[in-house]
Chains A and B, each alone.
Chain A
Amino acid sequence: MNGVDAVVIGASAGGVAALFKVLGGLPQGFAIPVLCVLHLPDDRHSQLAEVLQRKIGRPVREALDKATIEPGLIYVAGPGYHLSVEGDLSLSLSQEAPVHFSRPAIDFLFTSAADAYRAGLLGVLLTGANEDGAQGLAYIKQCGGRTVVQDPEDAQVALMPEAALALHSPDHILSLSGIGQLLATLEDRAC
Chain B
Amino acid sequence: MTSERNTDIEIRLLIEAIYLKYSYDFRNYSGASIKRRILHALRQFDCRTVSALQERVLHDPGMFMQLLQFLTIPVSEMFRDPGHFLALRQEVVPLLRTWPSIKIWIAGCSTGEEVYSMAILLREEGLLERTILYATDINPHSLERAKQGIYSMQSMHGYEENYRKAGGRRDFNEYYTAAYGNAIMDSSLRDNVTFADHSLATDSVFSETQLVSCRNVLIYFNKDLQDRALGLFHESLCHRGFLLLGSKESVDFSAYSDRFEALVKPERIFRKS
Contacts and interface: CB of A to CB of B under 8 A. Distances in A.
B248 A93 contact: yes
B4 interface: yes
Contact of A84 (B30, B222, B223): B30
B36 interface: yes
A100 B219 CA distance: 22
B160 interface: no
9 tightest A-B CB contacts, nearest first: A84-B32, A112-B32, A94-B33, A92-B30, A66-B253, A95-B75, A93-B219, A65-B219, A93-B248
B220 interface: yes
A97 B31 CA distance: 17
Contact of B75 (A86, A96, A112, A142): A96
Contact of B1 (A82, A92, A143): A143
A44 B247 CA distance: 8
Contacts of A111: 32, 36
Interface in A87-108: 87, 90, 92-97, 108
Contact of A142 (B1, B32, B219, B252): B1
B81 A44 contact: yes
A65 B36 contact: no
A93 B32 CA distance: 10
Contacts of B35: 112, 115
A93 to B, nearest CB: 5
Interface residues on B, range: 20 to 34
Contacts of B25: none
Interface of B: 1, 4, 8, 30-33, 35-37, 73, 75, 81, 83, 216, 218-220, 222-223, 226, 247-250, 252-253
Interface in A18-70: 44, 64-67
Interface of A: 44, 64-67, 78, 80-82, 84-87, 90, 92-97, 108, 111-112, 115-116, 142-144
B223 A96 contact: no
Nearest to A45: B266
Contact of B4 (A96, A112, A115): A115
A164 to B, nearest CB: 20
Contacts of A87: 31
Contacts of B216: 95
5 contacts: A65-B219, A65-B248, A86-B222, A112-B35, A115-B8
Given A66-B226, A115-B8, A143-B1, A86 B219 contact: no
